[in-house]
Amino acid sequence: RTVYVNGEYLPEHEAKVSIFDRGFLMADGVYEVTSVLGGKLIDFEGHAKRLARSLSELEIRKPMEDEALLEIHRELVARNDIDEGMIYLQITRGAPNDRDFVFPPEETAPTVVLFTQSKPGLADSPAAKEGIKVISIPDIRWGRRDIKTVQLLYPSMGKMMARAAGADDAWMVEEGAVTEGTSNNAYIVKGNTIITRQLSHEILHGITRAAVLRFAREAQMQVEERAFTIEEAQQADEAFITSASTFVMPVVEIDGAQVGQGAPGPVANRLREIYIEESR
Ligand code: PDD
């Protein structure tokens, strides 16, 4: 694989980052995952916008213009011959020459890393035909989940808790309501209405979420942006998640309780179809 690190395209084993990098020592960095379908980037503009916002909220210098970022994305897709998959981008506050809680001097260059992940069959995923199982876990993450930071230890542990329980993923619950999945936004469906938590500091503002809600409205579905409980989700007609790496993925079981018929429902299936169709 050819990767990008701080201005250079290199074979992955030659790419290096300092041991003093703020991303490594303090999880002081942000990331984006942009999917590729048919060699084409999905929603680059949305990801670039959210990235700029994450950087600005953390006062990390934006290292380059969006056009330059787009160029690197395209170059990596071409060099690695990516048809279906993802591009991972990470920008950290850079590498000063020691560990310090105080931010490094202004002139410290942010670290920029990008690499591709080839996922043949991403659009035609068998999981989407069967649906996935989720468990609920308490949401104990920090209070600025709208910033896409690389502090992913708890989501990673959540995924392992799901695995241990024989499930695929975890939905996180705070004050009795679902916030989101470990790496995706959460939805339920009641009749013709799609319900998903409203945007706030409590959840990541998914780029896939924005696209899917737009397609849902265009298809005359009703959209309600509000919080919901695990009990309401278990009794809903359908449930699903969205993210750049899963698109629209049906959820068929929550904490051991079957959702609807226990199989992917028509709304999730239709939204997945529309999303993939529109992204090709
Ligand atoms: N995760 N919520 C969380 C906590 C996420 O980590 C993600 C994305 C989403 C969905 O956002 P989007 O639709 O823009 O991908 C929601 C990425 C895919 C990841 O961590 O790999």
Which atom number of ligand 1 is nearest to the Cα of residue 47? Answer: 14
C-beta 22 within 6 A of ligand 1? no
The β-bridge relationship of strands 29-37 and 85-92 is antiparallel
**Residue 5 in contact with residue 15, Cβ under 8 Å?**
yes
pLDDT of residue 261: 94
pLDDT of residue 144: 98
**Residue 236 in contact with residue 259, Cβ under 8 Å?**
yes
pLDDT of residue 28: 98
| 49 in active site | no
Angle of CA points 189, 193, 195, to nearest 5°: 60
- Tokens describing residue 232: 């309401």
**Residue 186 in contact with residue 166, Cβ under 8 Å?**
no
Only one residue has tokens 């020592």, namely 25
Spatial neighbors of 138 by CB under 8 A, at least 6 apart, are: 172, 173, 174
For the chain, how long is the longest CA-to-CA vector?
A: 58
ipTM confidence score: 0.99
Rg of the Cα trace of the chain? 19
Residue nearest to atom 2 of ligand 1 (CA): 184
Residue nearest to atom 20 of ligand 1 (CA): 183
- The Cα 20–Cα 34 span in angstroms is 27
pLDDT of residue 87: 98
Per-10-residue mean pLDDT of the chain, 280 residues long, equals 98 98 98 98 98 98 98 98 98 98 96 98 96 98 98 98 98 98 98 97 98 98 98 98 98 98 98 96
**Residue 250 in contact with residue 258, Cβ under 8 Å?**
no
**Residue 131 in contact with residue 264, Cβ under 8 Å?**
yes
The β-bridge relationship of strands 238-243 and 185-190 is antiparallel
pLDDT of residue 119: 97
Question: Domains of the chain, with CATH numbers?
Answer: 2-118 (3.30.470.10), 126-279 (3.20.10.10)
- The Cα 267–Cα 163 span in angstroms is 27
Q: Exactly one of 16, 40, 129, 148 is catalytic; which is it?
A: 148
What spacing in Å lies between the alpha carbon of 31 and ligand 1's midpoint? 10
